[in-house]
Amino acid sequence: MTPSTKITTRAKTASSPVKQQLAPADSTPPKSMVDKVYAELELKIVTCDLAPGALLSEAELSKQFNVSRTPVGEALQRLAREGLVNILPRRGILVSSVSVSDQLQLLELRRDISRFIARVGARRARPDERARLREIATAFVKAAKNNDDAALLVADKEFHDLFVRCAHNVFALRTMMSMDSLSRRFWLVHRGGSREHTDSARLHGDIARAMADGDAEAAMQASDKLADYLDEFTRSTLDAQH
């Protein structure tokens, strides 16, 4: 692992409307207490309610959630596997830093996995999934037109959740889920003006439409363009420090 590069952020926390919009879309309870604790902690970390560098206590979290330490510990182990926290023996749990070098490594791997998912997803998506992809593509256009940050983030999360499921490959699903939270947090911390919103919305929408149309080649090309954009965006945050 290369040393992490700590960075100056454009925004310390996500606004409360964004946090509300990023919450689960329905009221269906999680399947287990571990899922519930994980979902709430993941949301707080991604939206920076729990800021990078914050020190957490398993005992305090158990009191906060009014549960035993077992589900909290399991949720923290899952967050650690996804790179959102670091478990420090005899010290506590540290929320991981937001790192340009880590994000670039993540994008390097994500490029090829996303290309695979775009290709097989375009071929395997069910009719209901294709219909939802078209709806999400429209939502991206509307969010960009209105410069609606919260709506864009909702569309982004819904797209990525559906994008990977369209491949109907459990290993691709597990791999992408481990990267999505880190990527969303990086974007929330560094998102900028309307041009970034428009570019991101357009590129995501192109993938969604190509997959909905069953055009595997167009979906892969659109995925590559998004990967190029995300790489450029990430490097620009590093340039801004100098």
Interval 149-163 mean pLDDT: 87
Interval 150-166 mean pLDDT: 89
pLDDT of residue 197: 73
| pLDDT above 50 (res 1) | no
DSSP 10-56: S-SS--HHHHHHHS-SS-PPPSSHHHHHHHHHHHHHHTTSS-TT-EE
Higher-scoring residue by pLDDT: 29, 125: 125
The answer to whether residues 57 and 72 touch, using CB atoms and an 8 Å cutoff, is no
**Which residue type does 205 have?**
G
- Backbone dihedral region for residue 14 (phi beyond 0: left; psi -120 to 50: alpha; all else: beta): beta
Residue 19: pLDDT band by 50, 70, 90 thresholds? low
Determine which helix (DSSP H) or strand (DSSP E) holds 94, and give its type and residue range: strand 92-95
| pLDDT above 50 (res 13) | no
pLDDT of residue 30: 41
This prediction's pTM: 0.77
Q: Give the CATH class of 16-95.
A: mainly alpha
- pLDDT tens string 74-102: 999 999 998 999 999 888 899 999 999 99
Ordered strands of the 85-88 beta sheet: 55-56, 92-95, 85-88
Distance CA 169, CA 173 (A): 6
Of 44-48, 137-141, 159-163, least confident by mean pLDDT is 44-48
Tokens of 97: 């830093």
Every domain of the chain and the residues it spans: 16-95, 100-239
Residue 200: pLDDT band by 50, 70, 90 thresholds? confident
Interval 174-199 mean pLDDT: 81
Pick the CATH number of 100-239 from 1.10.630.10, 3.30.70.100, 1.20.120.530, 1.10.10.10: 1.20.120.530
pLDDT of residue 193: 57
